[in-house]
């Protein structure tokens, strides 16, 4: 009897426990059941998708609770951030501060890159970098790796936890994102995973942003198959769907005038087909919002924030249909509180570890880079909070070394503590790299054309040795091969033996006419010791070699032929903290170089060449000003006719012919103003500029040897573009005073192929 009574009491207690555990759920379900569950669908559309923020803003004003969100591409980004509990004001503020050009460029600010990684900026090389492995040439998987997007999103959704594996139903607002499996061409609805990785995968435009690998599958932009994912919202929660379509209209025939525009049109056609299917599935009672965005470009992220009012206006236009989904102030506040109450408890970061850098790059490099960062490295105290922004900033700087395809990390939670596992993903197209380039310069009398090739073999040993070969053919020929060996894997000191072979024309003029050339050919072997970091480089070296100069002055030779054994030294100091060598807007570039031969060392000539360059730049808005000073002279000896200083040409004495000014001692002062007319798409370049210069040059005009002390004023007007092929200029130069020379220039590449504004 006692046993039976005990059993009945146990069953009653169990029933009460079950009832108590279900009570909160029943109350929540009752509240939810009092109104239809609203699923918000945010479609893809690139920059046009920023109009979604305006839609969200008005839905909040109208007190429309959202039960779940499904998004694609930019809709997945905006929807994922909102679903993670980020307020509209905070989202708007963060997005309005984004430098979109920097975000779409994987490189950090140029000033933060090590000087070694800036070296290509001084050469006429295209941006495109090919990989070379055996006899194969390899391409990068996208024009941008997109890791900066991930870093930005990790900071924005940090309150939601940045968990490596998360059920998206557990977010403050349940969430779905669409991706496309690029391997088998199927659509993927993400219900769980790393929220940031999923958002990034959903907006990886093929060919522009590299695919994202999730669970050994490569995913790209979900808009290819599901740009307005109505079905995903219905499957997740929706009784009623609010669908927002921001897709780009098809281009008219007169705009289909390039391979790029036709390719984009093809993608738009495919996207438009699946959008029509999704919109046809909308039912009576669903709400379709289509902001009036006109022909606003999906690539115009810089101005995308201006579309928020369009999203607001389109949503208010649907006020009548949305009003039936609205709830009272009290109910909306209660819903909002329940949403924020779903934010997870996030474990504190106890450690940051480098878990992988691949098979080539020494992992200690990345460890060393992170070690001394406050709030990240091993020196972080127990009371010092982990700083996600500092981690992102340092990893961007590490990327600037040029060793990695992208930087990555994930949060691993164990026993209530969190470990950040950092990975540097090596370039899949490395470890050997090729670049190509062109240089073209023309004035009233001549056209010079060069073709450039550059080859780098990296990480030849655990200390990070690199073998670099630069070849130029055309007007000026050279082959330079250097083996760069750091003294240790984390050392800024290095040793660099190199071979330098050149074939250089030295052109002489008289009365504005070319009278002949010296053809100077030399081969030298160098051994340099140096020190380099992000601020610049110091070098000191010795060399030995052989030079031969052959004159070609016609019937009246101006100077003799020469054959010389040369032994001497080189020294250089370069401070490089300027944002761009091509079109500077901010920072300082300074360089001092000295070259000398010594008869006491066995050289058959004995002279010195030392020159100094200083360029500073500042800007305000679209306006920029660059100031440059250059001096060249000799510390001892007279310069031989086969090695003079030469000026003249665009921005090197505008108005004069290229290399028309000559001398033992020369000088140049220059002020250049430029105005940014337009911004180019990141795949094509950076900008188009209109500008002009005022210059003063001190040098001899041709063979007028008595005129070297005169200051020669000149000016130029130009239109220029910073393109993926290099800087391009169309310019008019005008010299004043007694010379009154004027010349039209066209250039692709740096002005002056060996001029004072090109280092080293």
CATH number at residue 401: 3.10.20.310
Looking at the domain assignment, is residue 45 inside a domain? yes
The answer to whether the beta carbons of residues 542 and 536 sit under 8 Å apart is no
**Calpha distance 510→517 (Å, rounded):** 12
Looking at the domain assignment, is residue 129 inside a domain? no
Domain extent for 325: 38-106+145-341
Write out the two tokens for 727: 């800087």
Place of tokens 């992220």: 301
Q: Which residues pair with 612 in a beta bridge?
A: 592, 631
**Calpha distance 142→128 (Å, rounded):** 11
In sequence order, the 6+-apart residues with CB closer than 8 A to the CB of 330 are none
**Calpha distance 269→259 (Å, rounded):** 15
Same-domain status, 510 and 646: yes
**Calpha distance 707→730 (Å, rounded):** 30
Same-domain status, 60 and 201: yes
**Calpha distance 200→206 (Å, rounded):** 12
Q: What is the dihedral of CA 93, 578, 678, 78, to 10 degrees?
A: -30
Looking at the domain assignment, is residue 677 inside a domain? yes
Same-domain status, 558 and 644: yes
**Calpha distance 263→205 (Å, rounded):** 12
Q: Rounded to the nearest 5 degrees, what angle is found at the Cα of 6, between the Cα atoms of 5 and 12?
A: 90
What's the whole-model pTM score? 0.84
**DSSP 8-class letter at 362:** -
Cβ atoms within 10 A of the Cβ of 678, count? 10
Same-domain status, 304 and 282: yes
**pLDDT value of position 704:** 53
Same-domain status, 666 and 524: yes
Cβ atoms within 10 A of the Cβ of 649, count? 27
Looking at the domain assignment, is residue 119 inside a domain? no
Same-domain status, 461 and 408: no
105-140 per-residue burial string, b: 16 or more CB within 10 A, e: under 16:
ebebbbbbbbbbbbbbbebbbbeebbbbeeeeebeb
Sign of CA dihedral 502, 503, 509, 513: negative
Q: Which residues of the chain have pLDDT under 50?
A: 1-32, 705-706, 753-760
Q: How many residues make up the chain in this entry?
A: 760
The answer to whether the beta carbons of residues 243 and 43 sit under 8 Å apart is yes
Looking at the domain assignment, is residue 680 inside a domain? yes
Question: What is the per-residue DSSP string for 263-330?
Answer: HHHHHHHHHHHHHHHHHHT--TT-EEE----TT--TT-GGGGGGGHHHHHHHHHTTHHHHHTT---HH
**Which pairing describes strands 217-221 and 212-214: parallel, antiparallel, or unpaired?**
antiparallel
Same-domain status, 582 and 641: yes
Q: Rounded to the nearest 5 degrees, what angle is found at the Cα of 411, between the Cα atoms of 406 and 413?
A: 160
Same-domain status, 415 and 441: no
The answer to whether the beta carbons of residues 648 and 657 sit under 8 Å apart is yes
Residues designated as active site: 73, 221
The answer to whether the beta carbons of residues 285 and 238 sit under 8 Å apart is no
Question: At 391, which helix (H) or strand (E)?
Answer: helix 388-399
Burial of 257 (0-12, 13-18, 19+ CB in 10 A): exposed
**Calpha distance 529→498 (Å, rounded):** 11
The answer to whether the beta carbons of residues 240 and 285 sit under 8 Å apart is yes
Looking at the domain assignment, is residue 753 inside a domain? no
Which of 426, 454, 486 represents a domain boundary (last residue)? 426
- The total of structural domains in the chain comes to 3
In sequence order, the 6+-apart residues with CB closer than 8 A to the CB of 71 are 41, 42, 43, 44, 77, 78, 79, 80, 175, 176, 177, 178, 202, 229
* pLDDT tens profile 503-537: 999 888 877 778 888 899 999 999 999 999 999 99
Three-class SS state of 97: coil
Looking at the domain assignment, is residue 314 inside a domain? yes
The answer to whether the beta carbons of residues 46 and 74 sit under 8 Å apart is yes
**pLDDT value of position 348:** 87
Write out the two tokens for 104: 């779409």
Cβ atoms within 10 A of the Cβ of 216, count? 6
**pLDDT value of position 583:** 94
Which of 403, 426, 449 represents a domain boundary (last residue)? 426
Q: How far is CA 463 from the centre of its chain?
A: 27
Cβ atoms within 10 A of the Cβ of 339, count? 16
**Calpha distance 400→406 (Å, rounded):** 10
Same-domain status, 198 and 334: yes
Query: Closest Cα partner for 717 from 748, 740, 695?
Result: 695
**Which pairing describes strands 477-486 and 175-181: parallel, antiparallel, or unpaired?**
unpaired
Same-domain status, 549 and 662: yes
Strand order in the sheet with 417-426: 349-356, 417-426, 404-414
Same-domain status, 458 and 562: yes
Same-domain status, 489 and 561: yes
Looking at the domain assignment, is residue 159 inside a domain? yes
Write out the two tokens for 51: 């109009």
Which of 297, 325, 341 represents a domain boundary (last residue)? 341
The answer to whether the beta carbons of residues 424 and 119 sit under 8 Å apart is no
**Calpha distance 392→377 (Å, rounded):** 13
**pLDDT value of position 142:** 74
């Amino acid at each position: 009897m006692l046993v039976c009574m005990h059993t009945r009491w146990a069953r009653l207690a169990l029933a009460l426990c079950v009832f108590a555990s279900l009570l909160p759920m029943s109350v929540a379900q009752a509240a939810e059941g009092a109104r239809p569950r609203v699923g918000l669908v945010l479609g893809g559309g690139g920059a046009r998708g920023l109009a979604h923020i305006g839609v969200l803003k008005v839905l909040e004003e109208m007190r429309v609770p959202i039960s779940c969100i499904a998004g694609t591409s930019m809709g997945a980004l905006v929807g994922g951030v909102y679903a993670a509990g980020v307020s509209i004001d905070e989202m708007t503020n963060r997005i309005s501060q984004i430098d979109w050009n920097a975000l779409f460029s994987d490189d950090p600010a140029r000033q933060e890159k090590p000087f070694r990684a800036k070296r290509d900026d001084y050469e006429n090389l295209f941006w495109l970098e090919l990989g070379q492995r055996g006899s194969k040439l390899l391409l990068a998987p996208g024009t941008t790796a997109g890791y900066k997007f991930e870093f930005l999103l990790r900071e924005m959704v940090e309150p939601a936890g940045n968990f490596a594996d998360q059920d998206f139903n557990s977010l403050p607002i349940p969430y779905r994102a669409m991706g496309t499996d690029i391997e088998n061409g199927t659509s993927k609805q993400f219900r769980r995973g790393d929220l940031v990785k999923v958002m990034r995968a959903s907006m990886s435009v093929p060919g522009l942003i590299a695919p994202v690998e999730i669970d050994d599958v490569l995913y790209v932009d979900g808009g290819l198959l599901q740009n307005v994912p109505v079905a995903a919202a219905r499957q997740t929660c929706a009784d009623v769907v609010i669908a927002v379509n921001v897709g780009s209209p098809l281009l008219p025939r007169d705009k289909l005038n390039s391979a790029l525009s036709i390719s984009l049109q093809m993608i738009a056609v495919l996207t438009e087909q699946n959008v029509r299917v999704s919109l046809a599935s909308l039912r009576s009672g669903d709400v379709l919002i289509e902001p009036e965005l006109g022909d606003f470009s999906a690539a115009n992220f810089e101005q995308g924030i201006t579309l928020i009012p369009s999203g607001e206006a389109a949503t208010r236009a649907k006020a009548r249909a949305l009003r039936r989904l609205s709830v009272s102030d009290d109910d909306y506040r209660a819903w909002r509180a329940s949403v924020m109450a779903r934010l997870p408890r996030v474990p504190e970061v106890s450690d940051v570890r480098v878990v992988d850098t691949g098979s080539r790059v020494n992992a200690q490099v990345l460890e060393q880079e992170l070690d001394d960062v406050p709030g990240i490295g091993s020196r972080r105290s127990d009371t010092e909070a982990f700083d996600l922004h500092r981690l992102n900033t340092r990893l961007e700087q590490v990327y600037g070394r040029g060793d990695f395809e992208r930087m990555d990390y994930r949060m691993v939670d164990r026993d209530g503590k969190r470990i950040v596992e950092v990975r540097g993903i090596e370039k899949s197209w490395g470890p050997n790299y090729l670049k190509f380039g062109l240089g073209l310069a023309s004035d009233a009398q001549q056209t010079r054309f060069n073709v450039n090739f550059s080859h780098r073999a990296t990480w030849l040993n655990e200390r990070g040795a690199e073998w670099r070969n630069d070849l130029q053919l055309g007007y000026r020929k050279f082959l330079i091969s250097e083996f760069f060996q750091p003294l240790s894997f984390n050392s800024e000191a290095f040793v660099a033996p190199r071979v330098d072979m050149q074939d250089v024309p030295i052109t002489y003029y008289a009365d504005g006419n070319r009278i002949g050339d010296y053809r100077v050919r030399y081969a030298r072997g160098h051994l340099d010791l140096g020190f380099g970091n992000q601020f610049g480089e110091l070098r000191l070296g010795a060399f030995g070699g052989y030079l031969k100069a052959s004159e070609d002055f016609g019937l009246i030779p101006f100077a003799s032929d020469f054959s010389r054994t040369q032994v001497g030294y080189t020294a250089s100091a370069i401070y490089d903290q300027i944002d761009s060598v091509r079109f500077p807007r901010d920072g300082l570039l300074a360089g001092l170089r000295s070259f000398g031969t010594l008869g006491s060392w066995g050289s058959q000539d004995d002279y010195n060449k030392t020159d100094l360059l200083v360029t500073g730049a500042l800007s305000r808005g679209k306006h920029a000003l660059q100031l440059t000073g250059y001096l060249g002279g000799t510390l001892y000896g007279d310069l031989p006719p086969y090695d003079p200083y030469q000026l003249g040409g665009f921005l090197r004495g505008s108005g004069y012919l290229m290399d028309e000014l000559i001398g033992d001692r020369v000088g140049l002062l220059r002020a250049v103003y430029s105005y940014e007319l337009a911004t180019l798409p990141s795949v094509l370049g950076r900008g188009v500029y209109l500008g002009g210069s005022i210059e003063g040059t001190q040098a001899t005009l041709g063979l007028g040897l008595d005129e070297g002390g005169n200051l020669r004023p000149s000016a130029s007007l130009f239109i220029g573009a910073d393109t993926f092929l290099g800087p391009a200029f169309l310019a008019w130069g005008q010299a004043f005073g007694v010379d009154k020379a004027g010349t039209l220039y066209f250039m692709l590449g740096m002005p002056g192929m060996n001029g004072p504004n090109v280092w080293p």
